[in-house]
Amino acid sequence: MFSLFNKRINYRIAFAAVFLMAGIQPALAADGPSDSIFGNPLALAMLAVMALLAIVIGVLAYVLLGVADMRLQERKKSKETGATVPAVLLLLFLTIAPTVFAQEETTESATAAAASIGGLDATSFYVMNGVILLEFLIIMVLLVNIRILIKKEQAKLLEAGLSVEEVRELKKTKLNWWDKMNRMKPMSQEADIVLHHEYDGIRELDNRLPPWWLYGFYMTIVFAVIYLWRFHVSHTAPSSEEEYIASVTKADMEIREYLKKKGDAVDENTVTLLSSSDDLSEGKSIFQKSCASCHKESGGGDVGPNLTDDFWMHGNDIKSVFKTIRYGVNAMPQWQNQYSNKQIAQVASYVKSLHGTNPPAAKPPQGVEIKDEAVVDSTQAVVTKE
Amino acid sequence: MQIEKFYYDNKIVKAFGLATIVFGIVGMLAGLWAAIQIYYPASSLNLPATTFGRMRPLHTNAIIFAFVGNASFAGIYYSLQRLCKARMFSDKLSWVHFWGWQLIIAAAAITLLMGKTTGKEYAELEWPIDIAITLVWVIFGINMFGTIIKRREKHLYVAIWFYIATWVTVALLHIVNSVEIPVSFMKSYSWYAGVQDALVQWWYGHNAVAFFLTTPVLGLMYYFLPKAANRPVYSYRLSIIHFWALIFIYIWAGPHHLLYTALPDWAQSLGVVFSIMLIAPSWGGMLNGLFTLRGAWDKVKEDPVLKFMVVAITCYGMATFEGPLLSLKNVNAISHFSDWTIAHVHIGGLGWNGFLAFAILYYMIPKMWGTELYSKKLAQNHFWLGTIGIILYAVPLYWAGFEQSLMWKSFTPEGQLRFQFMETVTNIIPMYVSRSVGGGLYLVGALMMVYNLYKTMVKGTFIPNEAAEAAPMIKETHAKKEYWHRVIERRPVTLLVLSLIVVAIGGAIEFLPTFLVKSNVPTIASVKPYTPLELQGRDIYLREGCYTCHSQMVRPFRDEVARYGEYSKAGEFVYDHPFQWGSKRTGPDLAREGGKYPDSWHYNHMYDPRSMSPGSVMPQYPWLLDDALDTASTPAKIRAMRTLGVPYPDGYDKIANRDLMQQADSIAASLKRDKIKTPSNVEIIALIAYLQRLGTDIKTDPAKAEAATVNP
């Protein structure tokens, strides 16, 4: 009677955990995909860990209850009743644990974002970590308990004067936690479940399906239904495109805030020629890394035009050069995604500093002639050409 | 009842076994060579045939179809006879199957190295070889079913269910994915284009793993594991449930190779959920294998066969748990296109397939030569070397994949990409080195096995025909009530038909809407067919296997849009026969390559990639600069494309070469401006034309438009 009750309650716990997770997901995400914590990989990873640990707890509890139950019945035979207390305590603990877990999860949605950790608000982050820690503790306690009970069991057998071999033999008729977890028959009873056929000497047993496997299978099916529902029926989960738009919008906001704070807002309208040796050497190193393959290390030009002569295709003032590098022109790639505006200003200034260096094997002139003394911008350059 | 005497055919098993060993070593060598090229590009020898883009298809095809294929055939021919208590249906068919398959492998090796390829991963072989595969596969099927029909054992054992499902599904996959229109002998275009081609290809690619590398091998496990351990199979009902669930669910999971691509979202979601549901059916096989060893674990310590099997099954369990995790969109966003995937498949390839093949060889060869294994100790050493090899191979690649992917995604606070592509490559070179060391150890282990098995053969005497006896099958009526599945087990044809129905469902539900419902691939007006020169260039791109290192699929991620440009749309690929989205980014994505660099950059880059991008690991392609473009093929190619529905005008095939030369001349002229003198009829010109076209159909760049107004 007691053992039957145990088993049932254990499944119930497992199922409760599944539906709990399943039920919470859409509820939390209902307020739109953008501010759902389910768009956050960290949150999802932590939820997955939480779920996994919950399953482990369920399995271990099942085993422990089984072992404890065995001891309980033995004690009952010997008219001892003490063991019920830990068993009952354990049951209590197990029924409470998921509830606590549930309560803590629901509080997350209520807390407002204070500080952000990995894209999660701090409260959620710590609460989730707390839950994971708690689950680890529970697992430790369960493991220690199982170990103690198993040790006691073995010691008792050895005490009873059995040799190690005999204990091993006896084990074949008894079930350990592993066998119980998988609902295995004791090895000695194998004859009961062997099927009446053989293929080239291979016989088959008819062991029952390991329960954790079967319920795991059901859980993945439940997952599939909820997943399809959220993405294609309720639309509480973002499509690839929505996800993209959300991430870009968020990043733009963060960048704007960052730049505002930093006060570094150089762009093609405000850039000036830099001349400090720090800036130029920084510019030089970027030039060597990203520009030299087309313009040669000397700037004399190869695939790209010569940068040291008086001929320019897109203007030679610092603002034009900055713009050409930042946005690219025709075959010249854009660099705005690789380098910050400050870095582009450094490279542009370095390029300007190469003027008149007359490197060997330079490329013949391309573009229009602009004398360096004349400060002209690109639109005027066009006029000159005409 | 009359007991009948008969003989098992060991000769055919021996032939397939030897082929397994030979092609296993060849395939591993090709893999090792390709692995070394990634960090030491000069090892391509600057020869077309030995360059990575051709070595990699050779490696994958050799391992999948030659090594695992032959191992499966050896195991099936060995076990099927014994499980049916009958000699193979026809010795003649057995040998036609054997030599047919080896000829296909030889043809594959030659044509792949020559650059004859369809450009679809794991289905690279050209149409004449595809037809040969179909024929040989049918012969194998007739031989297998003939044996099953004349069996002396009433019921089919679980291993045979897996063999049957393998046969019928591989036939289906191969035929559907290989529908292509021949242009000439050894050149064809895929019937499908773009998104549809991608869906069909990965339905095939994923299920090649499922039904060529998994189900036949599970069948082998079900025979050889209980035999070697001398233990009954753990659970009959687990066999039934995991068999049917596995073959039904597996077929749906293909789209998980296309997450975040231009494939419609609904198809991606099906790929995700079916992958997750696949965990339990896959693990059912692992559990039934490992639990069968219950009470025999002391034997595992002694017996190398069981040792290999235990690690193989464990690797199977790990890979089939990891696979579904990689199918979750947020994990896939990190893992896809990186070395993570390569590590994942090698847990399956080296661990599951390799170790199981070794196990059955170690089991069968002493048995067929009537002796004991020459050296158990050598086999144990092989085991340890192989295991260490797997670890040294996989762990660094997991690390490399994860780290590189995070570097790709990393931004500075100012909003710039933190790393250039090259920096992310240079950073993981040490991991590439370690990977090839791991692979090298694994190969050394395999060579130890070759020596050990050779010595075993010398020690024993081969038994070409093994005597056996059994009572003939009696046709009794089954009046008594029995378990429903037992009925199916008596009826091989029912089993075959049911398997076909079960695997056909998933494919049909995914394909039909993608092909029939227009909204799944929205058309884009500005997308035009390739020019003749671009088409020729594209064929060179295929021939050199560029898709083995470069993707053409910008996913809708902030970092990819910043790095490569606007994310890819389904409508952009409607003229791509075959699609070239790729699966790995050893080099950067090329979907928006057009117009990024000058023509002369590409010219220099193909001649020596390191001159244009220092630190690059791309091989050199000097022959493209000299080899003349085969313009004679242009009309046939245009005609084939027209048949496939690409809207070239009527009679365009006759004048296509005129346009081709015009475009080629203009590219040669642009190169000349950059001091490069080249005739315009060389292959590099066509390739440049193709590369400069990529992704430009819908390229709208505000800065460029602005620049255009500034410069008249």
Question: Domain spans of chain A?
Answer: 2-161+209-241, 277-385
Q: What is the CATH number of the domain that holds B98?
A: 1.20.210.10
> Measured between alpha carbons, how far is residue A168 from residues A165, A172, A175 in Å?
5, 7, 12
Are B333 and B258 found together in one domain?
yes
Neighbour count for residue B273 (Cβ, 10 Å): 24
d(CA A344, CA A323): 9
Please, what is the Cα angle at B200 between B198 and B201, to 5 degrees? 60
Q: Quote the number of domains for chain B.
A: 2
SS3 B155: coil
SS3 B40: coil
Are B501 and B577 found together in one domain?
no
Residue B709 pLDDT > 60:
no
Q: Each residue of A283-292: pLDDT tens digit? A: 998 998 888 8
Cβ–Cβ below 8 Å for B557 and A255: no
Q: Each residue of B614-667: pLDDT tens digit? A: 899 999 999 999 999 999 999 999 999 999 999 999 999 999 999 999 999 999
Is B522 among the domain residues? no
| Residue B543 amino acid letter | R
Cβ–Cβ below 8 Å for A382 and B711: yes
Residue B284 pLDDT > 50:
yes
Query: B236 at the A interface (CB within 8 A)?
Result: yes
Is B137 among the domain residues? yes
Closest listed residue to residue B506, CA positions, set B138, B253, B709: B253
Is B521 among the domain residues? no
Cβ–Cβ below 8 Å for B279 and A216: yes
Give me the residue from A220, A331, A337 closest to B416, CB to CB: A337
Check residue A24 and give its pLDDT. 43
Residue B466 phi, psi (nearest 5): -95, 125
Confidence of residue B363 (pLDDT cuts 50, 70, 90): very high
Confidence of residue A116 (pLDDT cuts 50, 70, 90): low
B416 vs A contacts (CB less than 8 Å): 336-340, 343
**Residue B465 Cα, gap to closest chain A Cα (Å):** 17
Cβ–Cβ below 8 Å for A203 and B233: yes
Return the DSSP state at B681.
T
Question: Can the peptide bond before residue B679 be classed as cis, meaning omega within 30 degrees of 0?
Answer: no
Residue A120 pLDDT > 90:
no
Return the DSSP state at B554.
-
Confidence of residue A91 (pLDDT cuts 50, 70, 90): low
Are B212 and B302 found together in one domain?
yes
Cβ–Cβ below 8 Å for A201 and B227: yes
**Residue A78 Cα, gap to closest chain B Cα (Å):** 33
Closest listed residue to residue A174, CA positions, set A198, A199, A150: A150
Residue A363 phi, psi (nearest 5): -80, 145
The residue ranking higher by pLDDT, A67 or B150, is: B150
Can you read off the two tokens belonging to residue A356? Answer: 């008149």
Check residue B699 and give its pLDDT. 66
SS3 B51: coil
Confidence of residue A174 (pLDDT cuts 50, 70, 90): low
Taking residues A168-175, report their average pLDDT.
66
Place of tokens 């500080």: A115
Check residue A92 and give its pLDDT. 52
**Residue A63 Cα, gap to closest chain B Cα (Å):** 18
Residue A264 pLDDT > 70:
no
- B360's CB contacts (< 8 A; 6+ apart) are B71, B74, B75, B78, B220, B224
Residue B60 pLDDT > 70:
yes
| Residue B62 amino acid letter | A
Closest listed residue to residue A348, CA positions, set A375, A369, A330, A326: A326
What Rg do the C-alpha atoms of chain B give, in angstroms? 27
Can you read off the two tokens belonging to residue B125? Answer: 């072989």
Instruction: State the DSSP H helix or E strand holding residue B189, giving kind and residue range, or none if neither.
Output: strand B187-190
Cβ–Cβ below 8 Å for B153 and A363: no
Give me the residue from A194, A220, A232 closest to B232, CB to CB: A194
Residue A258: CA count within 13 A, CB half-sphere: 13
d(CA A299, CA A363): 9
Q: Each residue of B92-136: pLDDT tens digit? A: 999 999 999 999 999 999 999 999 999 999 999 999 999 999 999
B675 vs A contacts (CB less than 8 Å): 363
Residue of B nearest to A262 (CA): B414
- Number of A to B CB contacts under 8 A, please give it: 203
Residue of B nearest to A193 (CA): B235
The answer to whether A128 and A118 have CB atoms below 8 angstroms apart is no
Residues of chain B with pLDDT > 90: what percent?
89
Is B59 among the domain residues? yes
What's the distance, Cα to Cα, between the start and end of chain A in Å?
102
The answer to whether B563 and B652 have CB atoms below 8 angstroms apart is no
Residue B700 pLDDT > 70:
no
What's the distance, Cα to Cα, between the start and end of chain B in Å?
99
Cβ–Cβ below 8 Å for A210 and B287: yes
| Orientation angle between helical segments B304-326 and B355-368, nearest 10 degrees | 150
Work out the mean pLDDT of chain B and round it to a whole number.
93
Residue A187 pLDDT > 90:
no
Is B428 among the domain residues? yes
> Measured between alpha carbons, how far is residue B388 from residues B383, B445, B612 in Å?
9, 10, 39
Is B609 among the domain residues? yes
Residue A277: CA count within 13 A, CB half-sphere: 0
d(CA B678, CA B670): 11
CATH homologous superfamily of A277-385 equals: Cytochrome c-like domain (1.10.760.10)
Can you read off the two tokens belonging to residue B344? Answer: 């994942």
In SS3 terms, B384-395 reads as HHHHHHHHHHHH
A169 vs B contacts (CB less than 8 Å): none
Q: What is the CATH number of the domain that holds B552?
A: 1.10.760.10
Work out the mean pLDDT of chain A and round it to a whole number.
75
Q: Each residue of A3-55: pLDDT tens digit? A: 444 444 444 454 455 444 444 444 333 333 344 555 667 777 788 888 888 88
d(CA B336, CA B325): 12
- B238's CB contacts (< 8 A; 6+ apart) are A207, A209, B284, B287, B288
Please, what is the Cα angle at B105 between B104 and B108, to 5 degrees? 85
Residues of chain B with pLDDT > 70: what percent?
97
**Torsion, CA A43, CA A46, CA A48, CA A49, rounded to 10:** 180
Mutate to test the interface with B, among A174, A199, A254, A323 (most CBs of B within 10 A): A199
In SS3 terms, B201-225 reads as HHHHHHHHHHHHCCHHHHHHHHHHH
Are B49 and B180 found together in one domain?
yes
Residue B40 pLDDT > 80:
yes
Are B179 and B311 found together in one domain?
yes
Is B401 among the domain residues? yes
Taking residues B26-52, report their average pLDDT.
96
- B581's CB contacts (< 8 A; 6+ apart) are B198, B258, B261, B547, B551, B552, B553
Are B496 and B559 found together in one domain?
no
Check residue A260 and give its pLDDT. 80
The structure's pTM equals 0.81
Check residue A293 and give its pLDDT. 83
d(CA B174, CA B702): 46
Residues 135-154 of B with CB under 8 A from A: 153
Taking residues B226-239, report their average pLDDT.
95
Are B354 and B497 found together in one domain?
yes
A253 vs B contacts (CB less than 8 Å): none
- B614's CB contacts (< 8 A; 6+ apart) are A293, B422
Are B442 and B553 found together in one domain?
no
Check residue A90 and give its pLDDT. 54
Residue B342 pLDDT > 50:
yes
Closest listed residue to residue B696, CA positions, set B551, B600, B597, B601: B597
The residue ranking higher by pLDDT, B170 or A192, is: B170
| Residue B677 amino acid letter | K
Are B43 and B166 found together in one domain?
yes
Are B499 and B576 found together in one domain?
no
Cβ–Cβ below 8 Å for A227 and B232: no
Check residue B422 and give its pLDDT. 93
Please, what is the Cα angle at A20 between A19 and A21, to 5 degrees? 90
- B525's CB contacts (< 8 A; 6+ apart) are none
Residue A251 pLDDT > 50:
yes
d(CA B581, CA B567): 13
Can you read off the two tokens belonging to residue A4? Answer: 């039957």
d(CA B594, CA B572): 14
SS3 B182: strand
Q: Each residue of B425-457: pLDDT tens digit? A: 999 999 999 999 999 999 999 999 999 999 999
Q: What range defines the domain where residue B694 resides?
A: 532-699
Are B306 and B189 found together in one domain?
yes
The alpha carbon of A78 is separated from its chain's Cα centroid by a whole number of angstroms, namely 53
Taking residues B285-307, report their average pLDDT.
93
**Torsion, CA B102, CA B104, CA B105, CA B108, rounded to 10:** 160
What Rg do the C-alpha atoms of chain A give, in angstroms? 36
Taking residues B350-366, report their average pLDDT.
97
d(CA B407, CA B416): 12
| Residue B3 amino acid letter | I
- B571's CB contacts (< 8 A; 6+ apart) are B521, B522, B523, B524, B527
Closest listed residue to residue B309, CA positions, set B291, B323, B289: B289
Residue B711 pLDDT > 80:
no
Residue B520 pLDDT > 50:
yes
Confidence of residue B701 (pLDDT cuts 50, 70, 90): very low
Closest listed residue to residue A182, CA positions, set A65, A73, A63, A69: A63
Are B458 and B588 found together in one domain?
no
Residue B553 phi, psi (nearest 5): -155, 100
Check residue A52 and give its pLDDT. 87
